[in-house]
Amino acid sequence: MSSKEYPNPAFSEPDFLRKPGKSDEEASPSDSSSDQQSGNWADRYGAALPHLERKRFRVSLDGLWRNRLHVAREAVLELQKQHPEIIALNFYGSATKGYANAESDMDALLFLDGKSVSDEERILLERTGSLSLSDELKQDIQRRLGDNDHPELSFTVRIINQEDINNSLDEILNAIESLGNSTSRINDEVFYFGQKCESLGEIFTGISVGSTLLEYRKTFLEKLLSRGEAGQVLWKEIIGYIRKKERPISRPGFEDVAVRDNSKYENLYPQTLEEAVRYFVEREPFRGSK
């Protein structure tokens, strides 16, 4: 298989989230995405699209968003020292695709350990969509960015624990196995569990800060591998939801968005469990080229 057929989607989070340096300022015009800081969303997306067809992530080289993500990374790692219940902060959205501008939101999933979250906090999260810990993180990021940079910090809090994840996986896997080799019935059953599959896939979504999440990913994939063909079927569905989360078909509220087929990006995502382990756990390219 040629490298053209299977683009190398490997990325280094430290490279994406590192502090901007002289090399960024000296980036050539052909490499820089500073032209994406102006114009409407469709224009910026169109400029980034050739790069996104080859890579899962891309961050602007003009320094603005690279600095923002670096600052957020430093803030969450520092806060983790005081609050080990923070599992990870996963960045996604336009900031990780190279078509964000100064007014774009910083989209992220904040994962917290369910064993450390009280019932009162769970109720508060259901009512308000936020917790004091997520508010504290946002305030620290804004403080570090300074008075002249005020991006909208759109953080979604997710409370997770390994037991709940295992129970959800067992429920879906058992249902798949009970249907034998009936492909149509399996597809119907997996569709029934669509919302759970989407939620389960979130721990693999975006650029992640926080090493604890790696253990969740490893245990998750080992669980699926232990269930043979049913595990492969379920992973295929889950990776589809991850791709849709990172590359939505359309952007609500924008009339100038051209509908695009996100299935064309399948080769940027591991389609088998063996590929998933190599990519998400071992942090290596999951497909080589000949």
Paired tokens of 99 = 């078509």
Q: How far from each other are the two terminal CA atoms of the chain, in whole angstroms?
A: 6
> How does pLDDT run along the chain (290 residues), one tens digit per residue?
333 333 333 334 445 555 555 433 333 333 334 444 556 777 777 788 888 888 888 887 668 998 999 999 999 999 999 999 999 999 998 899 888 888 899 999 999 999 888 888 888 888 888 888 999 999 999 999 999 999 999 999 999 999 999 999 999 999 989 887 666 777 777 778 888 999 999 999 999 998 889 999 999 999 999 999 999 999 999 999 999 888 876 554 444 444 456 677 888 999 999 999 999 999 888 875 33
- Within 10 angstroms of residue 15's Cβ, the number of other Cβ atoms is 9
Residue type, 41: W
Q: What is the pTM of this model?
A: 0.83
User: In sequence order, which ranges of 201-252 are alpha helices (DSSP H)?
Assistant: 212-225, 228-246
- CA-CA distance, 286 to 1, in Å (whole number)? 13
Cα–Cα distances (Å) from 129 to 66, 119, 126, in that order, read 27, 14, 6
Give CA 275 to chain center in angstroms: 17
- CA-CA distance, 198 to 57, in Å (whole number)? 20
Beta bridge partners of 156: 109
Dihedrals phi, psi of 251, to nearest 5 degrees: -115, 110
